[in-house]
């Protein structure tokens, strides 16, 4: 993996004079039902849910993001670390007691309360990069938090749920490349100390070079137009199979609407479309999958990203004649 050092000074992410002004992406890394936000807005304007039995606060979205940034800056002290890119969904609105009788249209800003139930963020390290098919990939760490997974009717000390991942962001399209060893899909912690320790363990255990090697090899395998059409047809058939038959098949978790996007981009995407003969290599196919995945909701987004990687890895093994697959039979 090529490391390009853009800034020799360790970035103190909690010093506003040193924090990188550039966000981790200027384009949404996820689009469905989300709104853009910033760490500053979350910390200054959003209320924090509490555990009902003792009124103690949960680990907030802001706490989660800051914990991840602190661990990342500690592990990569000499690298450039960009501002987090944050997406929010499922707003929970309220009002202060003094405004309880006002019509909603007459509420003043200071009389409104707000937090978002679900949040996803990424933090990009653009000084750790590699390239596949002339496309720059940057090391990226991120996370997902959904308060609805926590038992807020309990007391502080109950498990709080998080998703944390590390992988690479394709700078051409902001698609995220994430594999299993870079993903904790149901991290349960009781405090910020445990959260930081778990994030550190994930990052330090992630084999970036192996992940990049696996991604690069996808360039060596291609599907013909007939194979692609057969694959898409089988993917659409999967959800209608009998239950016992499904258990033996590794599913692609993209929806029918997302599969339609994959087919459209097979013809039209400037970076990942088919070649003149109708063939498409697995690297391009994978990016069509992860591109379509941007329309997933926050709570399914990373799971579908990881699933897409393993799906194309299975296709690679089929093309290598190391296994068989229902999708290409």
Q: Could you write out the DSSP letters of every residue in 264-295? A: HHHHH-TTT---TTS-EEHHHHHHHHHHHGGG
Give the per-residue pLDDT at 80: 95
Token pair of 85 as six digits: 């890119």
Residues found in the chain: 329
pLDDT tens digits for 46-78?
999 999 999 999 999 999 999 999 999 999 999
Look at residue 247 and give its three-state secondary structure.
Answer: coil
**DSSP, residue by residue, 157-208:** TB-EEEEEEEEEEETTT--EE--GGGEEEEEEESSHHHHHHHHHHHHHH--H
Q: State residue 149's pLDDT score.
A: 94
Residue 147 has a pLDDT of 96
Q: Which pLDDT value is given to residue 20?
A: 55
Give the global pTM.
0.88
Report the pLDDT value the prediction gives residue 2, as an integer from 0 to 100: 39
State the helix-helix crossing angle for 208-217 and 282-292, rounded to 10 degrees: 110
- In Å, what is the CA distance from 153 to each residue of 56, 93, 114, 157, 190? 11, 19, 20, 12, 15
pLDDT, residue 4, reads 35
- 3-class secondary structure, 310: helix
Kind of pairing between the strands at 160-170 and 135-146: antiparallel
- Residues above pLDDT 90, as percent of the chain: 81
Asked whether the beta carbons of 156 and 194 are under 8 A apart, the reply is no
For the chain, list residues with pLDDT below 50: 1-19
Residue 152, CB-side half-sphere exposure with 13 Å CA sphere: 14
């Amino acid at each position: 993996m090529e490391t390009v050092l853009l800034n020799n000074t360790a970035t103190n992410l909690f010093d506003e004079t040193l924090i990188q002004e550039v966000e981790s992406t200027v384009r949404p890394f996820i689009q469905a039902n989300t709104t853009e936000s910033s760490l500053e807005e979350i910390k200054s304007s959003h209320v924090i849910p509490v555990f009902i039995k003792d009124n103690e606060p949960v680990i907030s979205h802001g706490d989660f993001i800051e914990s991840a940034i602190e661990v990342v800056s500690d592990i990569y002290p000499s690298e450039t670390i960009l501002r987090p890119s944050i997406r929010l969904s499922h707003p929970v609105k309220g009002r202060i007691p003094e405004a309880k009788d006002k019509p909603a249209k007459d509420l003043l800003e200071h009389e409104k309360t707000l937090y978002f139930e679900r949040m996803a963020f990424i933090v990009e390290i653009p000084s750790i990069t590699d390239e596949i098919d002339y496309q720059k990939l940057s090391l990226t760490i991120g996370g997902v938090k959904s308060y609805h997974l926590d038992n807020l009717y309990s007391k502080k000390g109950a498990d709080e749920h998080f998703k944390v991942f590390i992988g690479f962001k394709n700078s051409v399209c902001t698609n995220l490349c994430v594999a299993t060893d870079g993903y904790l899909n149901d991290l349960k912690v009781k405090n910020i100390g445990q959260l930081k320790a778990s994030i550190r363990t994930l990052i330090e255990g992630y084999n970036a070079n192996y992940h990049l090697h696996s991604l690069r090899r996808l360039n060596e395998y291609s599907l013909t137009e007939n194979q692609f059409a057969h694959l898409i047809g089988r993917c659409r058939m999967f959800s209608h199979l009998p239950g016992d038959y499904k258990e033996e098949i590794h599913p692609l978790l993209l929806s029918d609407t997302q599969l339609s996007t994959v087919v459209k981009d097979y013809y039209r995407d400037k970076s990942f479309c088919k070649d003149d003969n109708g063939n498409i290599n697995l690297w391009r196919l994978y990016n069509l999958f992860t591109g379509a995945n941007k329309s997933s909701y926050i709570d399914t987004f990373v799971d579908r990203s990881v699933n897409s990687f393993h799906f194309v890895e299975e296709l690679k093994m089929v093309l290598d004649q190391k296994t068989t697959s229902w999708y290409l039979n």
